[in-house]
Chain A
Amino acid sequence: MGYLEDRIGFLQERIQRIEQNPDPAKLKSTRLIYEAELELRQSQVEAWRNGKAFAEGPGPMYALLRAVGFEIVDSVRAADRIPAEQVPKYFDAVRALGFPDTFCDRTILRLPLIFGDNDLPKPSIMLNPYGACELGSTSANVIAHQLGVPCFTIDVPSDDDYKKHLGYITRQIEEFIRFAEATVPGTRFDEGKLVEFQELESRWYKGNHHLYELKKSIPCPLHPQDSFRQHTYPCTFPNPAKAVEYIESYTDELRARVKEGYSPLGEEKLRILWTISGPFGSKKIWNLFVEKGVAIPYTLFGGSGRVHGTRFPPIGDITEFGRKLTPIEELAKIVSYNSWGGTANRWIEEALFICREVKVDAIVNYNLLGCTPTMSLSKLLAEAAERELGIPSVSVVGRELDYSASDEQGMLEQLSAFIDRCIDQKGLSKKRR
């Protein structure tokens, strides 16, 4: 249980450090998410030792998987958190297994974590909604075929008119439930549990929406590094209420900052939209932004629109489809739309909407090496943003975990020059939203 035990040690040490030496400049609520993560890893170890059935799938489906009776194994999230010094070892393992090493890091580094004997428990079943991130779905298919694990694929159409496919996706989720019950002994779908989980998730989505509203504030209350953080679906954790408590506390703290007009930057000189992905664990970019007074009110990625309810109402809403949805339909609703899942127009529309709402001055597109769903989107978005909003863009290239693949110093210089240019030109743009 190498990965899990290492992770538990890291989290325990981190929580202890917060207890013993709290940093007043940092958000107190952060401790809650470390505690939730620690509980997750400890519960995974125990469940593994006790031979419990694990399921793999994406975050929005964890409520369903837990309601059927599975423990969660989250190999992509785990890959995100591989310590920097261990990343080369896992890349070597990817190559040794015969897989390509040039695609999105997190979707390929999950493979050695799952295939190895010591890092993560092997799933008894995979639930694989195949839509926006084909690399995530393909790597899930790899796990299923190579390990001989039953895998249920949910086909998610890439049609921009996503609403018309609600019935199609719902039907597949219902079939998955029957498939899981028939395939993995001891599992049984408990709709009451799903409803309970969804009530918690509804609070979580509302919390994220409040967070989004706070991000519109000038100055932005978020440190650039915090803005890059993706918030974890509650049912990832054995105690989903903790994730809800976290987002609500986090939002309360930011609300207090907004009330005081506080910005971690001191003076906010520029607001940017950051897109796609970024270097996990690297602090240099965020330090550059703080130094230059650059806020990142919003980080746009495939699922962020749903998470933050930018244009999409949360669970329980009746406006999006004109009626109340069943619990399974609520799941289908979440899965049916991802801004990377359709044509480029879907992405551009969402990005420009955010730019207007959050009052963005410039866009930084972090082109993730080997990310196929976001290919070409940066250029198309840059053209649209300039044309429609007079907003300049820059594209940088890098990976999430493998820093050897990109020129960090070059990227910092490129960003620095772009920021300086934008600050100089701010207020001189011909077209303002």
Chain B
Amino acid sequence: MSRSGLLPNLLRIAFSGCEVDGYAWAYEWKRRGGKVAGVLTPCVPVELLWAAGFLPWRVMGAKRRAVPISLALDYRPVRSCVKDTEILELVLSGELDFLDALISTDWDNDVKRLWDVWTSVRKVDLAYLLSVPRISRDYACEQLCRGFAELMSALETAAGVKITEEDLRRGIRLYNSIRSSIQQLYELRKRDNPPLLGAQCLEITLSGMVMPPQEFLNELSTLLRKLEGPETSPPRAAPRLLVSADWLDDSGFLKVIEDLGCLVAMDDLDTGSRFYWGQVNESPDGPLMDLARYYLQRPQCPRNVDWTGQVRQIREWVSEFRIDGVLELVLVCSPMRAFRSPYLKEMLSAAGVPFLSIEREYQLANVGQIRSRVEAFLEMIGK
């Protein structure tokens, strides 16, 4: 159970300002006799983990809980990705010892080395590092399909189960239902006065990364029934922003931004839209190939080389969600996004889309600076 004794559900998150408590769900799952697989990156195929009987549990930092970094600095330089350093500190303090498996992909060198250190200092029943292509060509999908097959084999061994094609299809259909429901939620964000703020939406999408998927889907359906219906409030005359970031798992950032009087009407986040966009399309090529195509062809992170395609996706969302400006939050010492940023700025400027890039810490910090810069941006947008 959680520290408060309550399992946070989506209605409380949506209407009472409650935030997701991933640990509560992990402990609850274990209490029910289940196994929990720590997921380090968004490209881990959660459908496979679920089919093997694991709860896919996105490893996140400590949110606004203070985590003095000391043990991790033995292994990581001060100037390195702050997210991975914080997670390593949690590992070394024993806080994540409850995990039964640790599954990661080679999203970047930083997270690969986090996986290296984690597996050298802690015994995990199953530790797996999956190589995911950075391109989306057909043979890359075949390559990833082979990788998924090997991961599946490792999961079967660890869980002592045999994953059938029907198990996989069932998992895919479940997650497809979740994706479909999240996209319905995102449709509501197109309204002039959306029923949820961006910060609340992020808490909901984060919940889907730590909750048992069927329960998440059930709660999502209940929430959608409450949220859907004709708009009764007048339109908010608030600037509509799209926030683009990686590893953003603290809605506090969005709250600080929205408290300035704007609306985060859409996101380009691996913890939001990019995780849930689209569907796994069923084909005669088998479920693993279907999954491989999905994971390589859905909206991509900056680690993938097709920055042109990523910008095109952002521009589509800007148009679809009637966005007035794009705000990018660049995690300190995380190179992929930092190197892509000038290109993104140039392309959005050429398209007449106001753009601001701010460097951020992993934990909510430098709030005053964020506020000043966003305020100035909103003034510039002129709404």
Contact = CB atoms under 8 A, between A and B. Distances in A.
* A and B: interacting chains: yes
Interface of A: 97-100, 102-103, 128, 130, 134-135, 137-139, 141-142, 145-146, 151, 153, 155, 157-159, 165, 168, 171-172, 175, 343-345, 367, 369-370, 372-373, 375-377, 379-380, 383, 397
A99 B76 CA distance: 23
A375 B113 contact: yes
Nearest to A153: B305
A158 B116 contact: no
Contacts of A158: 106, 112, 129, 131
Given A155-B133, A155-B143, A372-B108, A138 B346 contact: no
Contacts of A370: 79
B183 to A, nearest CB: 29
A157 B131 contact: yes
A293 to B, nearest CB: 31
Nearest to B303: A134
Interface stretch (B22-30, B157-165, B335-343): B335-343
A369 B78 CA distance: 10
7 contacts: A97-B342, A100-B335, A137-B305, A155-B135, A343-B115, A343-B116, A343-B129
Nearest to B106: A158
Contacts of B77: 367, 369, 375, 397
A321 to B, nearest CB: 18
A376 B75 contact: yes
B307 interface: yes
A175 B117 CA distance: 37
Contacts of A168: 139, 143
Contacts of A103: 335
Given A141-B305, A158-B106, A344-B113, A153 B339 contact: no
Contacts of B345: 98
A100 B334 CA distance: 10
Contact of B307 (A99, A145, A171, A369): A145
Contact of B134 (A98, A139, A153): A153
B70 interface: no
B335 A372 contact: yes
Nearest to B307: A145
Contacts of B75: 376, 379-380
B140 interface: yes
B146 to A, nearest CB: 9
Contacts of B112: 158, 343
B117 A376 contact: yes
Contacts of B2: none
B324 interface: no
Contact of B76 (A134, A159, A376): A376
Given A103-B335, A130-B305, A155-B135, A142 B117 contact: no
Interface string B122-152: 0000000101011101011001000100000
Interface of B: 74-77, 79-80, 106, 108-110, 112-117, 120, 129, 131, 133-135, 137, 139-140, 143, 147, 305, 307-308, 333, 335-336, 338-343, 345-346
Interface centre among A97, A102, A130, A155 (most CB of B within 10 A): A155
Contacts of A376: 75-76, 113-114, 116-117
A343 B120 CA distance: 11
B342 to A, nearest CB: 4
B135 A153 contact: yes
Contacts of A397: 77
A396 to B, nearest CB: 12
Given A134-B336, A145-B308, A380-B116, 15 more contacts: A99-B342, A102-B79, A130-B134, A138-B339, A146-B346, A153-B135, A155-B134, A155-B135, A155-B143, A157-B131, A158-B112, A370-B79, A375-B77, A376-B76, A377-B113
A379 B80 CA distance: 15
A29 to B, nearest CB: 36
Contacts of A377: 113, 116
Contact of A128 (B116, B305, B338): B305
Contacts of B109: 134, 372-373, 375
A204 B336 CA distance: 35
A137 to B, nearest CB: 8
Contacts of A145: 307-308, 340, 343
A102 B334 CA distance: 10
A377 B220 CA distance: 43
Contacts of B74: 379
Nearest to A380: B120
Interface centre among B129, B143, B345 (most CB of A within 10 A): B143
A375 B80 contact: yes
A146 B113 contact: no
Contacts of B134: 130, 153, 155
A369 B79 contact: yes
A379 B110 CA distance: 15
A103 to B, nearest CB: 6
A375 B305 contact: no
A373 B106 CA distance: 11
Nearest to A345: B116
A407 B108 CA distance: 29
Given A134-B109, A367-B77, A377-B113, A344 B120 contact: yes
B193 to A, nearest CB: 36
B120 A135 contact: no
A383 B345 CA distance: 44
Interface centre among B79, B131, B340 (most CB of A within 10 A): B131
Contacts of B333: 102
Contacts of B340: 142, 145
Give the top 5 A-B pairs by smallest Cβ distance, nearest first. Answer: A372-B109, A344-B116, A98-B342, A157-B131, A376-B113
A399 to B, nearest CB: 11
Interface centre among B110, B115, B120, B341 (most CB of A within 10 A): B120
Given A372-B109, A375-B109, A98 B341 contact: yes
B3 to A, nearest CB: 31
Contacts of B116: 343-345, 376-377, 380
Nearest to A139: B339
A99 B113 contact: no
Nearest to B117: A376
A159 to B, nearest CB: 5
Contacts of A155: 133-135, 140, 143
Contacts of B117: 344, 376, 379-380
Contacts of A165: 143
Contact of B339 (A130, A142, A157, A373): A142
A254 B330 CA distance: 50
A172 B76 CA distance: 34
A145 B304 CA distance: 13
Contacts of A153: 134-135, 305
Contacts of B110: 372, 375
A134 B129 contact: no
Contacts of A369: 77, 79
A410 B206 CA distance: 46
B332 to A, nearest CB: 9
A168 B133 CA distance: 11
A56 to B, nearest CB: 15
A159 B151 CA distance: 12
A141 B133 CA distance: 15
